Amino acid sequence: MPEPRISASDQDYLRALYDAGGHERRVGTGELANQLEITQGAVTVALQRLQQKGLVDYRRYQGAQLTEEGERHALEMVRHHRLIERFLVEFLDYDWNDVHEEADRLEHVISEEMERRIAAKVSDPTTDPHGDSIPNEALDALQADDARQLTGVADGTDFVVARVRDRDRAVLEYLTEIRLVPGTQARVVRRLPFDGPLVVRIGADEVALSQTVSDSVFIRDA
């Protein structure tokens, strides 16, 4: 039986479902709709289509999870996307806050040969510019990520930035400005009362982070 045809739109949904954790758990249609900035109805129609192709297990009111075949296709798109981001930053002088949309467009059209050449050019990296893991050429499942959100970290914790969310350009620009990027070591100083910002020390500077910013940063203990 031939493999079902998978469109660029299908690939977008599969990668979005993977990014939302759909390789490990069921993801609700509302969560996917918010991530993709479309209606829940459109997400439901797409998930039903992907289920017919054997790529997701969709259950009404319970959400969807990737099948083994769906995860393989999702990992291929994740690999394309993150390698392209790395190439754009290292060789075309893009800022890390400008590469997500470019990679969204290009990930669907590069050939496997081009993917291999890009990987070789950037020395087959294990992470993209935002710190997210890049699947290997065999598309083996990525190891579980033990990084946690900066928002919930206790006062006095020394940490290293592991990765940051890559979808909000303004947040990425701000993180660049304050030097809170993957690999940076810093310390949580205190959280200001009454749902106030999180104060962190980066080098000699103390910076107050809104929850939007701290939610976007994932860390490991230093």
State the helix-helix crossing angle for 8-19 and 40-52, rounded to 10 degrees.
Answer: 100
pLDDT for 12 equals: 94
* pLDDT band for position 2 (cuts 50, 70, 90): low
Euclidean distance between CA atoms 123 and 126, whole angstroms: 9
| pLDDT over 80 (residue 1) | no
Which residue has tokens 């106030």?
196
Q: For position 145, what pLDDT does the model report?
A: 84
* Residue 194 confidence (pLDDT): 85
> For residue range 73-103, what is the model confidence (pLDDT) as tens digits?
999 999 999 999 999 999 999 999 999 999 9
DSSP per position, 191-213: E-TTT-PEEEEETTEEEEE-HHH
Residue 136 belongs to a domain with what CATH number?
A: 1.10.10.10
Q: What is the mean pLDDT of residues 97-115?
A: 95
Residues 36 and 84 in one domain: no
Q: How far apart are the first and last CA of the chain?
A: 51
Quick one: average pLDDT of 28-35? 94
Has residue 3 been placed in a domain?
A: no
- The number of domains in the chain is 3
**pLDDT at 36 exceeding the cut of 70:** yes
CA distance 123 to 83: 10
Dump pLDDT digits (tens) for 171-188: 999 999 999 999 999 999
* CATH number for the domain that contains residue 192: 2.30.30.90
- Within 10 Å of residue 148's Cβ, how many Cβ atoms? 15
The yes-or-no verdict on residue 4 having pLDDT over 90 is: no
34 is in which domain, residue-wise? Answer: 8-66
